[in-house]
Amino acid sequence: MRRTKQVSGQKNRIRRNNDIRVPEVRLIDSDGEQVGVVPAAKARDIARKQNLDLVEISPTARPPVCKIMDFGAYLYQKKKEQKEQKKSQKTHSVKEIKFGIRISDHDFKVRTNKAVKFIEKGHSVKVVLQFRGREHTHPEIGLKRIDEMKEDLKEIAKQEFEPKKQGRSIVTEFRPLSKKEK
């Protein structure tokens, strides 16, 4: 089996009219009725007479399946379907909040309020508590701060995983509660 090098942009290219270089195609007419296996030249002539395009629908089939249609309308419909699929996808973004163990109570409250805003908008919040110098010898102080944040967020968010130490910091993540969990 020979491998041919694909030119960039050719992978998803839809062949139409004279780009279809196989001797025979399985033809579907503009009404959606199957005509059968016909020579490609004859299929192009039929399409030209109807002022439409011969478009390769299934290139991997043997013989390839081609349909007589308006190519511009086909591309428009395809783009429209892709937009609909993209709309229905749910994006999941993670916002990050960092602070140290010596953070003042007011600054901690500001960070918590920011986390609340992120969660209300549907984002997950990654909380990173950083240790400096010899602070990492007292992780219990950091865990206490994270527990305070967990307590403040318990009505709108769920802790994704238990706080874990990563190098000189402790990391955890909060995600918004689903409607069932509220």
Residue by residue, pLDDT tens for the chain (182 residues) are 444 444 444 556 788 888 888 888 898 888 888 888 988 888 888 888 998 988 888 888 888 898 999 888 888 988 999 888 888 777 678 899 999 989 999 999 999 999 999 999 889 999 999 999 888 888 888 899 999 999 999 899 999 899 999 889 999 999 998 877 76
Q: Do residues 30 and 81 both lie within one domain? A: yes
Q: What does DSSP say about strands 53-58 and 34-39: parallel, antiparallel, or unpaired?
A: unpaired
Phi, psi of 49, rounded to the nearest 5 degrees = -65, -30
Q: Single out the residue in 87, 120, 144 at which a domain terminates.
A: 87
The arrangement of strands across the sheet holding 65-69 comes to 34-39, 24-28, 65-69, 53-58
Residue 168 lies in a domain: yes
Domain boundary among 68, 87, 106: 87
Residues 157 and 125 sit within 8 Å (Cβ to Cβ): yes
SS3 63: coil
Is residue 143 in some structural domain?
yes
CA distances from 120 to 19, 113, 115 (A): 52, 11, 9
Handedness of CA 97, 102, 104, 109 (dihedral sign): positive
> Do 45 and 69 reside in the same domain of the chain?
yes
The beta strand positions in 81-154, using DSSP E, are 94-100, 124-130
Residue 131: domain span: 94-176
